[in-house]
Structure 1
């Protein structure tokens, strides 16, 4: 069945499939852990039970998402030994310690305090419980730092030497970790995680508002999410622009593929909005572009010369159609987030944030947009690095294990079947949890909770108070 297929292609498909499932969960939990830390801080600072109820509501979702992220991440790690043993052997001295640091610092921090955060609300003091929540949030950020340090070194390698046996050996750990692309990738990914979480929280709030569940909790979660979109989406666009300029300096071929520049433009490159990349002819067919705008964005000069893929050997071209379109999906969804954020800002100014049903419908439909944007950004980054696993130094074709295509193909089918069953059930379970409205604590305030009179306001008064608080 798989004899005619390439083992390298199947190994790439398997890693891409498992990675696509994995990356959406950390992207969600990074943002959700910080959100939980914020709502718990607001509860402790104000004493309002609405924040305590939101914490209890979202911490359950976090627990499921965190568990699925851990399981999918473990499966991925095995592939380094089964399908990519040559890469692991040659790059292991560099990436192995970095991934161990992630486990010893980030994962241990998360695992050590996760139980207290999930189950300690009624069992420990509020100070210790808050500390556990902050520790878990910090752990998710540290995890992102170390994993992105690994990936960024593969994108912009430095601080190493190559031994006689072909292994990459660390010569300067500072240079390895803080390689040229790490700061830009880290900021871009963390902001993407925050926006992804904001879209999910906003969609849940919009769902309950559309179903006439305008409780204090649904209003507050929707308002907080819209604030995040309004404030962070513009920052993400700026961060993405800086990331693109850094990529132009260190991975110009990737930028050529993203922009669809098959040909060099000595007198200014256009910004191609759409087109059909043709790898065989080396042209962008049916292109729709704006003259000079590509050079203006990338070089800050509309007449600046821009090199194209015609200046690069064909065996070093990435898959241009994949990179070209995944980049546009990511950018398009980023602009959609900005539009929803600006729309919510207008509604807030007019005092109609909880009344404009079309805004609520838009927020509900935009709920999955963050996950799709993260996946599109990951595809742009990884496919744009091809044909290398370590950019410019180790080709993907030379990184794969000496394994037959049928063995990889059978395991790929097994992954697809198991993931489809397990993770689909997990996602459905989380959606069902979010479909239920957050309710006030039936058992009264938590032991040790702040007991300010302003924190317990019945019915519509609570909604009005929370609404005024976040306007």
Structure 2
């Protein structure tokens, strides 16, 4: 019978939660800036199609925000139970970054998201647009802080390791780590691909059910542009910083994952190429394209999620067996726990995450099927 060590089980449990969080953070990151673009385009043109797209995707943004906050709680529980010594060793670095991220999250939720999600139609349009901008900026700042910590763990700099912990002597070297630019490019590329294919997929699915509105056709075109942008940007860190960010392509055991990434990217590129041919070359809306393209697009709706998960995996295993490259090994900070307890908790986390994903997808298509009821407009308020 195959025996799996408790350390390996703990690693995969933690990666599962980290990968699950990465999926919804990818939705949050790009959708916030896309919502701001939609608001500004509506203000500039006055066309209702722009605000129609906004009304649907702001609900997806809110759902992704709630899921992300729930998963962060489970991640903190796992860190406290499985890797308690880690927090003590890297508190000098992770503590200030985590506190600042939590502060930004609470400020974003209490001030900006409150206006963005719950005050639409009850506040002036300019203030509501400002709330959308600050929400997108806050999410980006939180992601930046997380990437700063990840970059430092992959290549420690600006710190000194003592017998008990790690001491910071140069915060600038951490906050402006040389890897952050590559990681930001990669995260924005994955986020744009994920969001773009969601937009294309749901519009293609709607086209198979009924004639599309102008907003739904516009949503497909925006998604296509976002996916193309993400694909092009993805090539930059994937080509120039592959050895820095990911486990090597030639590494035994991970080569199959790399081939999976290449195959997935090829499938995504083929969808984009055919979509561009019909929308730009043939000047057709998605509802007037061949059925095979509509099925193909709708089937690839969540392909960006799989890409984000695979890239998170390849990035996570880059440091193994270390958690802080060359300084702190996972074995040093692991709290020994029985195999049965780890298996049971892993199964429970898996079931919870599957239920959350199923609920998210069900609500995602529920809004796509029946549409979104416009917010009641008050005097001098936003639409």
Query: Shift in Å at residue 343 of structure 1?
Result: 2.4
Residues 438 and 215 (structure 1), Cα distance of their counterparts in 2 relative to 1, 3 Å cut: farther
Residues 49 and 447 (structure 1), Cα distance of their counterparts in 2 relative to 1, 3 Å cut: farther
Counterpart CA distance in 1 for 2:146 and 2:162 is: 24
2:366 paired with 1:448? no
1:436 paired residue number: 370
Residues 400 and 189 (structure 1), Cα distance of their counterparts in 2 relative to 1, 3 Å cut: same
Q: How does 1:119-198 map to 2 (within 5 A)?
A: 119-165=118-164, 167-198=165-196
Query: Shift in Å at residue 111 of structure 1?
Result: 4.1
Deviates more, 1:50-59 or 1:345-354: 345-354
Corresponding residue to 2:353 among 419, 443, 468: 419
Query: Shift in Å at residue 415 of structure 1?
Result: 2.2
Count of residue pairs brought into register by the alignment? 380
Counterpart CA distance in 2 for 1:442 and 1:91 is: 47
Query: Shift in Å at residue 22 of structure 1?
Result: 1.7
Give the TM-score normalised by the residue count of structure 2. Answer: 0.91
- Name the SS for the 2:317 alignment partner: helix
Query: Are 2:122 and 2:381, in contact at CA under 8 Å, matched by a contact in 1?
Result: no
2:250 paired residue number: 259
2:343 paired residue number: 409
Deviates more, 1:56-65 or 1:395-404: 395-404
Counterpart CA distance in 2 for 1:429 and 1:69 is: 16
- Name the SS for the 1:161 alignment partner: strand
Higher helix proportion:
2
Query: Shift in Å at residue 11 of structure 1?
Result: 1.4
Query: Shift in Å at residue 106 of structure 1?
Result: 4.6
Corresponding residue to 2:333 among 399, 415, 418: 399
For structure 2, list consecutive stretches of 5 or more residues without a partner in the other structure: none
Residues 423 and 196 (structure 1), Cα distance of their counterparts in 2 relative to 1, 3 Å cut: closer
Counterpart CA distance in 1 for 2:10 and 2:240 is: 32
Query: Are 1:205 and 1:219, in contact at CA under 8 Å, matched by a contact in 2?
Result: yes
Counterpart CA distance in 2 for 1:244 and 1:418 is: 33
2:73 paired residue number: 74
Counterpart CA distance in 2 for 1:346 and 1:414 is: 45
Counterpart CA distance in 1 for 2:26 and 2:367 is: 19
Query: Are 1:68 and 1:423, in contact at CA under 8 Å, matched by a contact in 2?
Result: no
The runs of 4+ residues in structure 1 deviating greater than 4 Å are none
Counterpart CA distance in 2 for 1:94 and 1:442 is: 44
Corresponding residue to 2:283 among 333, 338, 351: 351
2:329 paired with 1:338? no
RMSD after superposition: 2.4
Residues 230 and 423 (structure 1), Cα distance of their counterparts in 2 relative to 1, 3 Å cut: closer
Q: How does 1:242-391 map to 2 (within 5 A)?
A: 242-244=240-242, 246-247=244-245, 254-255=247-248, 258-260=249-251, 320-321=252-253, 323-347=254-278, 348-354=280-286, 355-357=288-290, 358-391=292-325
1:53 paired residue number: 52
1:266 paired residue number: none
Q: Deviations over 1:41-98 (max 9, x none)?
A: 1111111111112211121222122101110111101222110012222122111211
